[in-house]
Each structure stands twice: as structure tokens, then as C-alpha cells.
Amino acid sequence: MTVSLRVHLFGRYAELLGSEELALSLPQGGTVADAVTTLRARPGGEHLPAQPLTAVNATQKPPSTPLKDGDELALLPPLAGG
């Protein structure tokens, strides 16, 4: 069993991975931290921080958060509005 995610990347993180949106599959029980580890193994992903600001379904969530099928994970660079 795997968990299928849609990953949203913004700002510098999107440039590092070369995409603003991508699909990711994790083993059942995978967490936000597992997804980040997987992304960091991709080309360009090695420059992502180990614990970026993350959101699941548009709500900020910590690395320990378990992910379920269909979740939308977002990696948020340091905020710079205003």
C-alpha cells in the first residue's frame, strides 16, 4: 500500500526542484518528514532544508504528521510578504 500525494513547492524551493507541483508516493504510514527526505533525494532537492516549513491541506503541520492518500503537501520557504 502506498500513499499518493500532490506536492506544492514555492519560491526558491520550486526553483531547486524545477517544478511548482509534483506527485509523490510514500509507503503507508509515511509522514511529512518522510516526504521531505524523499524530495531531498531528488535532483536539486539536496539544497532543501531538512525541516522546511510545511503545510498539509493548506494548514501548517509539523514533520511528524502522518500523511494519507490524496493529501496536498506544501513546502514553504521563509515567508516574505509585505
Partner 1 sequence: MLLLTRHPIDLADMTRSVIQPEFGGLATFTGIVRNEQVGREVLRLEYTAYPAMAERLGEDIIREGQARFGVRLAMRHRVGVLEVGEIAVVVVAAAPHRDEAFAACRWAIDELKRRVPIWKREHYADGTVAWVDPTTAADVAVGGVVAAEMPQVSDASA
Site residues (CB under 8 A) for partner 1? 8, 10-12, 15-16, 47, 49-55, 58-64, 74, 76-82
- Bridge pairing between strands 21-27 and 53-56: unpaired
Judged by CB, which is closer to partner 1: 2, or 47? 47
Judged by CB, which is closer to partner 1: 10, or 37? 10
Judged by CB, which is closer to partner 1: 47, or 68? 47
Return the beta strands (E) in 1-82 as ranges.
Answer: 2-9, 21-27, 53-56, 59-60, 72-76
